[in-house]
Structure 1
Amino acid sequence: MKTARVAYAGAIHTAFEQDLGSSKGLRLADGRVVAEDQVVWLPPFEVGTVIALGLNYADHLKELSKELTVTSKDEPLVFLKTPGAVIGHRGQTRRPRGVAFMHYECELAVVIGRTAHRVARADAMAHVAGYTVCNDYAIRDYLENWYRPNLRVKNRDGGTVLGPWFVPAEEVADPHALGLHTLVNGQVTQQGTTANMVNHIPALIEYLSAFMTLQAGDVILTGTPEGVVNVNEGDEVITEIDGIGRLVNTIVGDELFGR
């Protein structure tokens, strides 16, 4: 069953989808039923270390081929994020004043369910608890180069959106056969499929767990397909993954953050 985490009436609750007739709502674990806009949506689980993959889709590699010196034959491009980068569904992400190119990235997020250390590829999926949707923003102005993301590009407060739902692994028949879509102000700007990953989930878990121990709550962001475009203050960005969820985020300016 899909679950969410929300803040309501001074407490944090586990929540479930609830049909309100003409709209969708939430049923809290204590039995109360509320509308989606009555709560603050949090990431749908307690987030540990966020492990992000760059250039893990063949079409995205092709899209950036003129700027790259890496290929699909190289080791996975991996970087880390702190939990402070993460916000939930319906949250706001700041676009700093003066930047020229800030873009979304629709990604399947893989949630680790139990400790993984030196896990063989054949055993890797047993360590996956479930999945959620990620919208991982990047500001290209700050990039040192096109294939080595630095901290200002990727580990930004509020720049990694997760949710709205945690979907248990057993409810996803094939995580490598899911459609991904991004809409900016209602217009489709990005479409792809997880089948186009360069390094699939078992290979990523085998690779990562060979040199670092993965713990329950750690998240692997598996990369994005082609179709990233600039977003501006006031834009509504929706990232969707078939069977996983529809994640809504709004771009805001410095003024809301007192800058």
Structure 2
Amino acid sequence: MKLVRFGALGAEKPGLIDGSGQLRDLSAQLPDLAGEAFAPAALAKLAGLDVASLPVVSGQPRIGAPVGGSPKFIAIGLNYADHAAEAGMAIPSEPIVFIKANNALCGPNDAVEKPRGSTKLDWEVELAVVIGRRAKYVSEADALDYVAGYAVCNDVSERAFQLERLGQWTKGKSHDTFGPLGPWLVTKDEIADVHKLPMWLDVNGERCQTGSTATMIFNVPKIVSYLSELMTLHPGDIITTGTPPGVGMGMKPPKFLQVGDVVTLGIEGLGEQRQEIVAA
């Protein structure tokens, strides 16, 4: 299934994309796509619906982040071997973990704000993992049993805030709109191999990132298992898993986003995003 939330910011309704690409309204079935809505039993119930009987949503409503009320927005840094090389950093011996504040979450096509004082606004196309079951001390062998599905994420980053203002990376990762997610959550049964997905990102129509989840250093089972040792994962938690090479910081000379720039990105099977950069 492709699950989606649509409507005005803060008033999104749950929906799904049917086999012909039409948006169907799920609001009579559940109040939101949040928390326990991603549990295996809840997803099985949605999968058993007669999709043709669901109301078709007319027009072109705003598409929101496909996960509502997420308990945590967790990120993994330097998780692609080719990106680590680009950044001139050693391949980490275990996952680098930081938190993006939940206020960073936004829809896949919402405008991205350039913060006041920003000088090094950057982009990162990433695979996001959405948790479907409470996970604590889970093994790598069982880890995918705790995953509800996957989505595209742009881990927008302000590099000066992240790297030059002391402390943790969270500073440069958490501004409003720094986490476009979607357009939909694709349940894991639709993805044959999550570690073989081509991904890309363009800035103003110019290809900047071309990569594949195949070059991840720590795969999805490893990440879920590892995080479950550090913190309990809950249904609706989002984990964004790192980016391939081609970020602005790694260019020679570096290139950063300015007001008016347009970023487009996507991952095979998971959809595409588009954001315009605006002043905060």
- Structure 1 residue 217 and structure 2 residue 217: aligned? no
In structure 2, the CA distance between the partners of 1:73 and 1:225, relative to structure 1 (3 Å rule), is: same
In structure 2, the CA distance between the partners of 1:92 and 1:122, relative to structure 1 (3 Å rule), is: same
How far apart are residue 196 of structure 1 and its match?
Answer: 0.3
- Structure 1 residue 62 and structure 2 residue 81: aligned? no
Correspondence for 2:5: 5
Q: 1:53, 1:223 within 8 Å by CA — same for their partners in 2? A: yes
Correspondence for 1:99: 118
- Structure 1 residue 40 and structure 2 residue 62: aligned? yes
SS in 2 for 1:189: strand
Larger strand proportion of the pair: 1
In structure 2, the CA distance between the partners of 1:84 and 1:154, relative to structure 1 (3 Å rule), is: same
Correspondence for 2:73: 50
In structure 2, the CA distance between the partners of 1:190 and 1:140, relative to structure 1 (3 Å rule), is: same
Distance in 2 of aligned mates of 1:72 and 1:5 = 37
- Normalised TM-score (structure 1): 0.87
In structure 2, the CA distance between the partners of 1:188 and 1:144, relative to structure 1 (3 Å rule), is: closer
Instruction: Structure 2: give runs of 5+ residues left out of the alignment.
Output: 27-53, 249-255
SS in 1 for 2:134: coil
Q: 2:22, 2:56 within 8 Å by CA — same for their partners in 1? A: no
How far apart are residue 130 of structure 1 and its match?
Answer: 0.2
How far apart are residue 148 of structure 1 and its match?
Answer: 7.1
Distance in 1 of aligned mates of 2:276 and 2:173 = 18
Encode CA deviations 1:135-181: one digit per residue, 9 max, x unaligned.
Answer: 01111122336997433201111111101111001111100000010
In structure 2, the CA distance between the partners of 1:95 and 1:11, relative to structure 1 (3 Å rule), is: closer
Deviates most, 166-175 or 44-53:
44-53
How far apart are residue 92 of structure 1 and its match?
Answer: 1.1
Distance in 2 of aligned mates of 1:33 and 1:217 = 24
Q: 1:191, 1:227 within 8 Å by CA — same for their partners in 2? A: yes
In structure 2, the CA distance between the partners of 1:240 and 1:48, relative to structure 1 (3 Å rule), is: same
Structure 2 letter corresponding to 1:177: K
Correspondence for 1:206: 225
Q: 1:239, 1:247 within 8 Å by CA — same for their partners in 2? A: yes
How far apart are residue 16 of structure 1 and its match?
Answer: 3.1
Of 219, 242, 245 in structure 2, the residue corresponding to residue 226 of structure 1 is: 245
How far apart are residue 249 of structure 1 and its match?
Answer: 1.4
How far apart are residue 250 of structure 1 and its match?
Answer: 1.4
Q: 1:26, 1:35 within 8 Å by CA — same for their partners in 2? A: no
Structure 2 letter corresponding to 1:5: R
Distance in 2 of aligned mates of 1:32 and 1:242 = 25
Correspondence for 2:102: 83
Distance in 2 of aligned mates of 1:172 and 1:146 = 39
Correspondence for 2:15: 15
Structure 2 letter corresponding to 1:33: V
SS in 2 for 1:152: helix
Instruction: Structure 1: give runs of 5+ residues left out of the alignment.
Output: 255-259
Structure 1 letter corresponding to 2:85: K
1:64-213 to 2 correspondence within 5 Å?
A: 64-65=87-88, 68=89, 71-144=90-163, 149-213=168-232
Distance in 2 of aligned mates of 1:244 and 1:173 = 12
Structure 2 letter corresponding to 1:56: N
Correspondence for 2:277: 251
Correspondence for 1:236: 262
In structure 2, the CA distance between the partners of 1:192 and 1:147, relative to structure 1 (3 Å rule), is: farther
Structure 1 letter corresponding to 2:55: G
Distance in 2 of aligned mates of 1:60 and 1:149 = 20
Distance in 2 of aligned mates of 1:85 and 1:64 = 24
Q: 1:18, 1:33 within 8 Å by CA — same for their partners in 2? A: no
Structure 2 letter corresponding to 1:34: S
- Normalised TM-score (structure 2): 0.81
